[in-house]
Amino acid sequence: MDCENGVCQLPTRAAEPATATTTTAQTPALLAERLPWTYFQDAAGHPATLSSLRRPLTLYAFSAAWCPPCRALAPTLAAVHHNHHETDVDLVYVGLEYSRAEHEEKNLLPYFRFGWTGADLPADLPADCENPHWASHWATVKALGKLGIPTAIVVDAATGKIVEDAVDLVLANQPTAAQIARAVATWRSGRAASTWWMRTRYWLTTRYYMSKFKLTRFFTEWLLAPLRKLITAAPAAGTAEKVAEETKTKEVEVAAEAEPLLAATEEAAAEEETREIVITTTTEVVEEVVEEVIVKESAEPEVAVEVAPAAPAQEVAEAIVEEIVAAVPEEATPAAPVTEEVVEVTATAETVEAAEEKKPLIEEPAAPEPEAVAAVAADA
């Protein structure tokens, strides 16, 4: 790389034929030294060099997806590329994204850019920042004399000189296509399109907000912080020990309150366990008894019970009557008493017969002895 008078020139590809719009790729020294050209890519994501910038003007846009003013400027940059990228302007997007997701989203734009693939992350990056070019890009913005983003400049590719360092001011407030075309024609003529009022307003606005920020920081960090320390009373001696003692006392009280609940819970659990054990044991004993009874009944033979057949009740009654009649003399016994006794005995026989019908398994009573019959007859 050859640098002379603040302008650095990179060698062009020998195989590329010269065209009417092809110029010698040159860039300002501050851009050549600070930007990571090793990771320079074209719109398709292929490795590129400065010789790939073939238009008379090169627009460098320092922007980020998380920046609201940058998002407001994005449609105007897209209009510049759409209307003038074939003949006038090559647009190089210098991204200051935090996350890789934002970087991949910006890779969909049809601009030249600086890729992240293969780049190592520096140790001094902000928290959650995944941009390996964060430091170099911000250093370039500060070298251009800007305090923040969006920042955009236009470089004459033939001379490597910065034609316009306030492109973000020129393209602000959504200019029309005719206004953009006039600005591009002014840049091609080697003149800046921004006015003194644009620069003055930008300078005043920037200085106002920077001064406000510095004053706020001065009052909060240098004046109010020591004042708060003076106002805040120092803790009394033994405060830490007192707090620790109170905390310990509260812990003991809480443990004492919780102890009955824990005991009741454990007792209920023990009773439930005992109940389950009793139920299980009882079930097992019952099952064993049932099994023993079943085995015993299957092992013992059935004993047949023989029941003597009962004598018919009518025959017993007739036999009793005959014995009574035979034992009583004809002349000593009137007919009527004998008839009543026979009727009574007959009724008794009918009662016995009825009982035999209800309980057929009960044996018939034995017949009375002849002596008993004779005694009954004698009494009559």
Tokens describing residue 2: 């050859």
Residue 212 has what pLDDT? 84
Check whether the bond before 175 is cis (ω within 30° of 0).
no
How many C-beta atoms lie closer than 10 Å to residue 147's C-beta?
13
List per-block mean pLDDT (blocks of 10 residues) for the chain, which spans 380 residues.
43 37 70 92 92 93 93 94 94 94 90 92 87 93 90 93 93 92 94 90 83 82 74 64 81 81 82 80 76 70 51 62 63 46 47 50 52 57
Residue 51 has what pLDDT? 87
Tokens describing residue 206: 């920037």
Residue 368 has what pLDDT? 57
Predicted model pTM: 0.54
Q: Is 356 exposed, middle or buried (0-12, 13-18, 19+ CB in 10 A)?
A: middle
Q: Is 139 in contact with 131 (CB distance < 8 Å)?
A: no
Residue 354 has what pLDDT? 52
